[in-house]
């Protein structure tokens, strides 16, 4: 149980850092394009942390006591993305900077990009883990087969 909680918190912490970093980058890019003349205070540096924390909360829609099917996971992912869009666009009011429609559209698109990027990074990490295990399984099988051949000889 403890080990399973470790895995959970590790994943949450990774997602928090990733969203926080990507959020800062997005704020910088969108701000420099759409609100170039506005200045921000030191307090605004906390916004990526707040956004990252708030973005973790919709992850609760992925929770289930039973194993979810692929279709159920995809539906919940879509739902999570919608909630994320609402949360992030709502958070823009924290900046206190009036944005136009195009800025909101850019933010909405960047949420999709960050969401996709996070999944790609997670998939690549899982892929490297799977490859590691596959190599080990292959080596084990090769060992068993060569042992069997030796026994036949």
Of residues 57-116, which lie at the interface with other proteins (CB under 8 A)? 62, 65-68, 70, 73-74, 77
Any contact of residue 152 with other proteins (CB under 8 A)? no
Residue 136 sits at φ, ψ, to 5 deg, of -65, -40
Alpha helices by DSSP H, 35-100: 47-56, 70-95
Taking the least distance from each CB to other proteins, the nearer of 42 and 153 is 153
Show Cβ contacts of residue 100 under 8 Å, excluding neighbours closer than 6 positions. Answer: 34
Q: Given the complex with other proteins, which of 25 and 116 has the nearer CB atom?
A: 116
Pairwise CA distance, residues 26 & 12, whole Å: 21
Q: Does 137 bind other proteins (CB under 8 A)?
A: yes
The span from the CA of 91 to the CA of 121, in Å, is: 25
Residue ranges in contact with other proteins by CB under 8 A? 3-4, 7-8, 11, 62, 65-68, 70, 73-74, 77, 122-123, 126-127, 129-130, 132-134, 136-137, 140, 151
């Amino acid at each position: 149980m403890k080990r399973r909680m470790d895995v959970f918190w590790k994943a949450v912490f990774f997602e928090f850092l990733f969203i926080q970093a990507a959020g800062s980058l997005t704020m910088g890019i969108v701000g420099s394009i759409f609100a170039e003349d506005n200045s921000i205070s030191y307090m605004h540096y906390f916004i990526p942390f707040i956004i990252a924390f708030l973005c973790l909360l919709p992850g609760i829609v992925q929770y289930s006591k039973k194993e979810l099917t692929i279709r159920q996971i995809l539906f919940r992912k879509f739902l999570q993305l919608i909630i994320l869009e609402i949360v992030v666009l709502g958070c823009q009011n924290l900046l206190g900077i009036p944005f136009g429609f195009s800025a909101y559209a850019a933010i909405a698109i960047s949420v999709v990009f960050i969401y996709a990027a996070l999944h790609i990074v997670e998939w690549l990490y899982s892929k490297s883990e799977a490859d590691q295990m596959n190599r080990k399984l292959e080596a084990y099988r090769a060992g068993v087969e060569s042992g069997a051949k030796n026994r036949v000889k």
